[in-house]
């Protein structure tokens, strides 16, 4: 058991989701040290008692467990495998948990490099967006050794309500690809349903009362469709990051010689809306594709 008194937790990446996640660990009574490229994004955590670290290297040298949730696989690679990265400076026996949506192959590489240093590595991407992070209701899909997973599971339970160990290194990332593939086509359907309701003269909010609890129900329909209707396109999850995820899934599907027409269509639509300046909007801004066309 990782005791609160003797365990220092590091957290790298305090963006839309990471800030809330780090806050839950701090609220649970753990010592927390944080690093993010823009220090201002960690201001609230520092005010609540977190300690600032100057680099991933600094985090690794202080912490017994390190969580990361950054932007892209290139960021993950830099944070973990760089000269001043986590693996080069982590304490033997420590635990590294990457919650970024990244590539399965990179997760496996990090696992192998960490193992050489007697460090435990787990890939544990999440689903649930800003709401899930804020309310500690994330779905967490983990890959890594059984023993390491069981050791950090109590910490994961602070962040989410659906924590599943999917298998060995890379299994968490593969599971997240399944998640993103399912969301991709669903988001097209959610947008078209709202646009159809509006065009037919219905009140879309009233329509949601009927369809969100029936067979059409989904997380996106319940949580993102209301934002579309309200004209709220602030990011719970950035379009630019969803495009990154879909490209990873598409590459993995190609390696398996698998056709993914729904994913391909969704990626095309999101790329078009991103080209119109919406890359930093939330994924619900796909709604604008129909409004602008």
Tens digits of residue pLDDT in 50-60: 999 999 999 99
Share of the chain above pLDDT 70, in %: 99
Q: How far apart are CA 293 and CA 291, in angstroms?
A: 6
pLDDT class of 293 with cuts at 50, 70, 90: low
Q: What mean pLDDT comes out for the span 33-46? A: 94
Mean pLDDT (whole number) for 194-214? 97
Average pLDDT, the chain: 96
DSSP per-residue letters across 92-156: TT-EEEE-S---HHHHHHHHHHHHHTT-EEEE--EESHHHHHHTT-EEEEEES-HHHHHHHHHHH
Pick the more confident residue, 5 or 66.
Answer: 66
Over residues 244-261, the pLDDT tens digits come to: 999 999 999 999 999 999
In the predicted structure, residue 240 carries a pLDDT above the cut 80? yes
pTM attached to this predicted model: 0.94
Q: Is the dihedral of CA 226, 231, 232, 238 positive or negative?
A: positive
Averaged over 66-77, what is the pLDDT? Answer: 97
Residues with active-site annotation: 176
Give residue 60's pLDDT.
Answer: 98
3-class SS of residue 31: strand
Percent of the chain whose pLDDT exceeds 90: 95
Confidence of residue 292 (pLDDT cuts 50, 70, 90): confident
Is the domain 8-168 a CATH 3.40.50.720 member?
A: yes
Give the C-alpha separation, 125 to 144, whole Å: 12
Residue 208, pLDDT > 90, answer yes
What's the pLDDT score for residue 87? 97
pLDDT value for 79 = 98
For residues 166 and 142, the answer to whether their CB atoms sit within 8 Å is yes
Q: Are 120 and 114 in contact (CB under 8 A)?
A: yes
73-82 long-range contacts (CB < 8 A, ≥24 apart) are 73/100, 73/102, 73/103, 73/106, 73/244, 73/248, 75/100, 76/100, 76/102, 76/106, 76/110, 77/106, 79/12, 80/56, 80/110, 80/113, 81/109, 81/110, 81/113, 82/56
Residue 282 reports pLDDT greater than 90: yes
174-292 maps to CATH 1.10.1040.10: yes
Q: What is the pLDDT of residue 5?
A: 87
Length of the chain in terms of residues written: 293
pLDDT at residue 122 above 70? yes
Domain boundaries, the chain: 8-168, 174-292
Whether the predicted pLDDT of 193 surpasses 70: yes
């Amino acid at each position: 058991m990782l005791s609160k008194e003797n365990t220092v937790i590091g957290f790298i990446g305090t963006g839309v989701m990471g800030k809330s996640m780090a806050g839950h660990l701090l609220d649970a009574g753990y010592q927390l040290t944080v690093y993010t490229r823009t220090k201002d994004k960690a201001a609230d955590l520092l005010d609540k008692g977190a300690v600032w670290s100057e680099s991933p290297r600094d985090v690794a040298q202080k912490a017994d467990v390190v969580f990361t949730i950054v932007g892209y696989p290139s960021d993950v690679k830099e944070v973990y495998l760089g000269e001043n990265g986590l693996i080069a400076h982590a304490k033997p026996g420590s635990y590294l948990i990457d919650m970024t949506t990244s590539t399965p192959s990179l997760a496996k590489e990090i696992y192998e490099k960490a193992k050489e240093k007697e460090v435990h590595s787990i890939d544990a991407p999440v689903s649930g967006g800003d709401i899930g992070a804020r309310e500690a209701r994330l779905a967490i899909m983990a890959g890594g050794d059984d023993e390491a997973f069981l050791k950090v599971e109590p910490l994961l339970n602070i962040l989410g309500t659906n924590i599943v160990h999917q298998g060995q290194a890379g299994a968490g990332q593969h599971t997240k690809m399944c998640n993103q593939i399912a969301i991709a086509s669903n988001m097209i359907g959610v947008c078209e349903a709202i646009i159809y309701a509006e065009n037919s003269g219905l009140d879309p909010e009233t329509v949601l009362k009927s369809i969100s609890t029936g067979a059409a129900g989904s997380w996106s329909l319940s949580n993102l469709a209301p934002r579309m209707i309200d004209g709220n396109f602030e990011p719970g999850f950035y379009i630019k990051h969803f495009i990154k995820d879909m490209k990873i899934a598409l590459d993995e599907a190609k390696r398996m010689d698998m056709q993914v027409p729904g994913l391909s269509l969704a990626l095309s639509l999101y790329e078009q809306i991103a080209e119109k300046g919406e890359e930093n909007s939330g994924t619900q801004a796909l709604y604008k594709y129909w409004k602008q066309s």
